[in-house]
Amino acid sequence: MSRAEILSNIRRGLGRGEASEAQRKAVFNRLNAKANNLIPKRSQLPHAEQVELFKSMAQEASAEIIELSSTADVPKTVTDWLQNNGIKELISSSDAELNELDWSPLGDIQRTQRVAMVGDMASITTSFAGIAETGTLMLHSRGESPTTLNFLPDVHLVVLKRSTIVGPYEDAWKKIRGTFGKSMPRTVNMITGPSRSADIEQTLQMGAHGPRTLVILLIND
């Protein structure tokens, strides 16, 4: 009932009945074109400079960046980081990219593959893309990588391959469409730095409900 009333109100306001075939066609052409709007020049750079821009923007948003020459270095680096912070368990996504690594450096630290739960201290996931324009990570849900890993633990470690860094958001959307076709993953998360809030007296505090710390393991592949 409401639906018909709302739609007919809108049409009356626009001074027409149902849209004509020509008008609908124009709208669908626009939807299908997926054309870019104005893209700021900031990120329209050679790839090496996009990577530098990504790094500086992510750091400005308080993300920590550790550069590695290969994914093989991830287990040792993660172990050091967790030990320095006294963390004894790592909740991990089960992406092949992570599973195929040699995790023996972890020693006593437990690496568990499951959804995140209250009390988890650290998680590790991969990422789909990095967006240089604002130092933003793009992740998406899938069986191997539960979304709770991105939000519930205190520390979120993210593996980002240098080759997946793009300039503007628009290039990341093209990548999403290229990978998934017409159906989007259930969720796409764009993450720029760790969680924060300024709701108490407009004083910015890090670590509101999401991770207090965001560590980007940037692989120079």
Partner 1 sequence: MQIRSPEFKENARTALKEEGLQRALGKLRAGFPEKRAIAVERMPEFHDLRDEARDLKNHILENLDIYLEQFESKVQESGGHVHWARTGDDANKIILDICKQVNAKTVTKGKSMVSEETNLNEYLEANGIQPVETDLGEYILQLREDHPSHIIAPAIHLNLSDVSEIFHEKHGKPKSDDPAVLMQEAREELRNKFVAADVGITGANFLVAETGSTIIVTNEGNGDLTQTLPKTHIVITSIEKVVPTLEDMTLFLRLLARSATGQEFTVYNTLSTGPRREGDADGPENFHVVLVDNGRSEMVGSEFHEMLRCIRCSACMNHCPVYGSVGGHAYGWVYPGPMGSVLTPKMIGIEKAGNLPNASTFCGKCEEVCPVRIPLPKLMRHWRNNEFEKHLSPKAVRWGLAGWGFFAKRPTLYRQLSTASNWFMRTLGGKKGRVKSLPMASGWTDFRDLPTPTDKTFMQQWNDKKEGKQ
Q: Which of residues 53-112 bind partner 1 (CB under 8 A)?
A: 57, 60-61
For partner 1, the binding residues in 4-63 under the rule CB under 8 A are 5-7, 9-15, 18-19, 23-24, 27, 30-31, 34-38, 40-42, 57, 60-61
For the bound state, the minimum distance from the C-beta of residue 110 to partner 1, rounded and expressed in Å, comes to 18
Beta strands in 122-181 (DSSP E): 122-126, 129-131, 136-140, 155-161, 165-166
Which span sits near partner 1 by CB under 8 A: 46-54, 75-83, 122-130, 202-210? 202-210
Task: Considering the complex, state which of residue 11 and residue 47 has its C-beta at the smaller distance from partner 1.
Answer: 11
Which is it for the CA torsion 129, 57, 87, 106, positive or negative? Answer: positive
Using CB atoms within 10 A of its CB, is residue 84 exposed (0-12), middle (13-18) or buried (19+)?
A: exposed
Q: Which of 114, 163, 179, 221 binds partner 1 (CB under 8 A)?
A: 114
Task: Considering the complex, state which of residue 18 and residue 102 has its C-beta at the smaller distance from partner 1.
Answer: 18
Task: Considering the complex, state which of residue 107 and residue 181 has its C-beta at the smaller distance from partner 1.
Answer: 181
d(C-alpha 164, C-alpha 130), whole Å: 6
Task: Considering the complex, state which of residue 105 and residue 210 has its C-beta at the smaller distance from partner 1.
Answer: 210
Q: How far apart are the first and last CA of the chain?
A: 57
